[in-house]
Structure 1
Amino acid sequence: MSSSAPSASSTAAPAEVHAHIARLFVYPVKSCAGVEVREALLTDTGLDLDRAWMVVDEAGEFVTQRELPRMALVRPQIRLSDVVLRAPGMLPLHLQIDTVEEPVRVRVWDDEVPAYDMGAVAAQWFSDFLGRRLRLVRFDPEHRRLSDRRWTGDVEATNQFSDGFPLLLASEASLDLLNERLAAGGLEPVGIERFRPNLVLAGVEPHVEDRLEWLRIAGDDPVELLPVKPCTRCTIPDVDPATGEAGTAVGDTLQAYRRNERLNGAVCFGMNAIVRAGEGQWLRVGQAVEGGWRFD
């Protein structure tokens, strides 16, 4: 796998893929609902405020919709100086973007990282809604949590509380294909929200994101992204974001055509990506996207 995209000043061959950004999503609290936005600031860890907060248990271990599907019902709103969380039957919880409390150590997958506790009110809010003793923490921006170098090569890609990579790419066509297969089985269609992408591409064939070596997004200072690893799927796409209830239809349908033998038969949908260039630029819905094919 090549680990670099052509730079804006290079004499690369013409791109073979032309698309545009159809939708953008930010997920302020890991495993809670996303916020669809028209534009988002790109940082070295992905979109600004993406997975900046995380819910943990009393041992500091992260929790997600895998064990607590009702987390899908926690809906954030991003404002200028705070993030407001709402959930059925709960008063709104306001998280000040520039305010934290005491430092703590927490675990996300195999990484133990420094973070900041968000205080007793936030802890009680999540505990009451989800029915377990929980706390809310904020990622320590001074810490560099690196993505797996087996996939990023010579690029040190940082991320916050995401599962492992700064960005997740998907396409409208990939979802359309899934919904066609669901319909053929007499099942209801689903939305892209179940797959929790950051960038949704339009104007491409289904699962073209699997085969891209690099992406360049047009702008004053072009953004370059590298798709590096297929996104293996757990039970979260089977959680209905409208009800917080889990089923099996999505996972069962994907099993029939989206098993990746290179990843021991894991079901995959979407591509994890890292930032090669363009930190500090704004991504906007409608921006043109070019890409080059992967030949491994």
Structure 2
Amino acid sequence: MHLSSLYRFPLKSAAGEALPQARSDALGLVGDRRWMVVAAGTGRFLTQRAVPQMALLQASWQGTEALRLSAPGMDELRVAVPGTAEMRSVQIWRSSTVVPDAGEAAATWLTRFLGQACRLVYLPAEEGIQVDLDYAQLGERTAFSDGFPFLLIGQASLDDLVQRVGRPLEMLRFRPNLVVSGAQPYAEDGWKRIRIGELEFRVAKPCSRCVIPTIDPATAERDADREPLATLLGYRKGEGGVFFGQNLIAEGTGELALGMPVQVLE
């Protein structure tokens, strides 16, 4: 087995970027989900669940000091990593935190593209959100993810789902960080600990899926037949949701690169 794809999502719920290699830090992949769009009035996070056109937002790091935003019909915008002059209280699921606001230019740009008043916020690497203590130790943190630092999916699992659905499906619909090839379909369901290269991970819990996989990442349109969720409901439904992929927590930090061997430790 080996690491066959590596994805980073600089801006939560925006388009992802494929990487040949990446470092990890205490929050996950360096630069992953460090930016987030929130409603201007409430500070609550916005995602493709309610705002599908976020799929068309392209966000890429410019070194470590700025983010470049682009979208159809919009001029590109460079947003510097903000300092602490303006802080904003934000909410992501049941967690709340106070983080730097990225300023008026970014807010105006995003408000125009998304059609609602919003702000762009940033999570410094030294901060982070505590991972659910039902699955993690005190001090284990994540960035603006839906709960965990890493999401892993087996390529064979997607291949099996594609065969069941009967049409191609992009892996990016499921927004993983790590894709492993060379295993049987859904083999990841039985893993408890793995090593990729020299970095070890605990498999925390299965990933419950929302409506985002039904959104075409190229067009931001929801599939009328609600695929692939409709098919997943038929054979991947369990207590608490429909599951596809596994959430991981790294034990330490290190380098990840395509082609690295993947070893099941437990």
TM-score by length of 1: 0.85
Q: Which residue of 1 aligns with 2:242?
A: 267
State which of 176, 183, 204 in structure 2 corresponds to 1:228: 204
Q: Is the contact between residue 228 and residue 274 of structure 1 (CA under 8 Å) also seen in structure 2?
A: yes
SS in 2 for 1:256: helix
Q: Which residue of 2 aligns with 1:207?
A: 186
Structure 2 residue identity aligned to 1:241: P
User: In structure 2, how many angstroms separate the alpha carbons of the residues matched to 1:292 and 1:268?
Assistant: 23
State which of 21, 32, 36 in structure 2 corresponds to 1:50: 32
User: In structure 1, how many angstroms separate the alpha carbons of the residues matched to 2:104 and 2:173?
Assistant: 30
Q: Is the contact between residue 151 and residue 229 of structure 1 (CA under 8 Å) also seen in structure 2?
A: yes
Deviation at 1:44, TM superposition (A): 1.1
Structure 2 residue identity aligned to 1:24: L
Q: Which residue of 2 aligns with 1:194?
A: 173
Runs of 4+ deviating beyond 6 Å:
none
State which of 69, 79, 93 in structure 1 corresponds to 2:62: 79
SS in 1 for 2:69: strand
Q: Which residue of 2 aligns with 1:8?
A: none
State which of 243, 246, 251 in structure 1 corresponds to 2:222: 246
User: In structure 1, how many angstroms separate the alpha carbons of the residues matched to 2:94 and 2:246?
Assistant: 21
Are residues 144 and 76 of structure 1, via their aligned partners in 2, closer, same or farther at CA, if it must alter by over 3 Å?
Answer: closer
Work out which of the two has the higher radius of gyration on C-alpha atoms and give 1 or 2: 1
Q: Which residue of 1 aligns with 2:260?
A: 287
Deviation at 1:146, TM superposition (A): 1.0
Matched, 1:102 2:86: yes
Structure 1 residue identity aligned to 2:73: G
Deviation at 1:292, TM superposition (A): 3.1
Q: Which residue of 2 aligns with 1:62?
A: 45
Structure 1 residue identity aligned to 2:30: D
Q: Which residue of 2 aligns with 1:6?
A: none
User: In structure 1, how many angstroms separate the alpha carbons of the residues matched to 2:174 and 2:47?
Assistant: 14
Q: Which residue of 2 aligns with 1:5?
A: none
Count the aligned residue pairs. 262
Deviation at 1:100, TM superposition (A): 6.4
Deviation at 1:36, TM superposition (A): 0.7
TM-score by length of 2: 0.94
Which 5+ residue runs of structure 2 have no aligned equivalent?
none
Are residues 141 and 105 of structure 1, via their aligned partners in 2, closer, same or farther at CA, if it must alter by over 3 Å?
Answer: farther
User: In structure 1, how many angstroms separate the alpha carbons of the residues matched to 2:237 and 2:60?
Assistant: 35
Matched, 1:119 2:103: yes
Deviation at 1:98, TM superposition (A): 6.3
User: In structure 2, how many angstroms separate the alpha carbons of the residues matched to 1:67 and 1:34?
Assistant: 18
Matched, 1:37 2:19: yes
